[in-house]
Amino acid sequence: MSQEKQEGAKVLHVFTNVISQPVKESTLPEEVPSRTWMYWQMFRAVAKKVSRSPFSLHTFAALRRTMLANFLPDNLATRYKAYQRGECNRCGLCCKIQFQCPFFVDEGPFNTHCSIYTSPHAPNACLKFPLDPLDLKLLQREIGNACTFYYEGKPQRLSAFEFVKLYTQGVRQQLAKRKLKEAPDSGD
């Protein structure tokens, strides 16, 4: 609480914690014209992938990666990250295998980026790429050995019971994170 006092005036109490501040919408990058355009482009890209899936092994791999990245909890989806080596060389070949991603920005050789990668709207499949050696192998099949990621070793094979146990732990952790995000500020 802050107080302001002027000569001959009453004391004015200003409570800053009574009225919550309006929530700012996340800003879109300059390359993305509007939310409507962005979601329409995402819809079109997924529709292309689904329509081409019976004819292409890469499309099947992309849909597999999307399903795993969205439905597996983080503790299972990132099991191979400890064994992953290399880094992105920004060649952009993974973003234009069958068709060029609408969010792909090419600024010259080995200088590309995604216009929504750092926004909250980035697809999980892109953020968690590559998920596992199979995912990387299917990509390397399409683009040659241009991608500099590789794996050294692998985690233990999980039994069905261990998988279910890790899955439920991961779901509980994600629900706990969601509850923390939704919890209002106490104002103390």
| Number of folded domains that form the chain | 1
61 HSE (CA, 13 A, CB side): 21
Residue 83 lies in a domain: yes
Residue 28 reports pLDDT greater than 90: no
pLDDT confidence of residue 169: 92
Within a domain: residue 109? yes
φ, ψ of residue 2 to 5 degrees: the values are -120, 155
Question: Quick one: average pLDDT of 41-65?
Answer: 84
Banded model confidence at residue 183, pLDDT cuts 50, 70, 90: low
Which phi and psi angles does 16 have, rounded to 5°? -85, -15
Q: What is the mean pLDDT of residues 3-18?
A: 51
What pLDDT, in 10s, does the model give residues 60-116? 888 888 889 989 998 888 899 999 998 888 888 888 887 888 888 888 777 888 888
Residue 42 within a domain: yes
The alpha-carbon radius of gyration of the chain (Å, integer) is 23
Q: Which domain holds residue 138?
A: 34-179
Is residue 151 domain-resident? yes
Residues 6+ apart with CB under 8 A from 69: 77, 123, 124, 125, 127, 128, 131
What are the DSSP calls for 83-128, one per residue?
GEE-------GGGSSSS--TTEEE-STT-EEETTTTSTTS-HHHHT
For 14-25, what is each residue's pLDDT tens digit? 445 544 555 455
Q: Note whether residue 117 is domain-resident.
A: yes
pLDDT digits over 117-172, tens only?
888 888 888 888 888 998 888 888 888 888 888 999 888 898 999 999 999 999 99
Domain contains 184: no
Q: What is the pLDDT of residue 1?
A: 45
Which tops the pLDDT comparison, 150 or 52?
Answer: 150
In a domain, 22, yes or no: no
Whole-number Å distance between alpha carbons of 127 and 138: 17
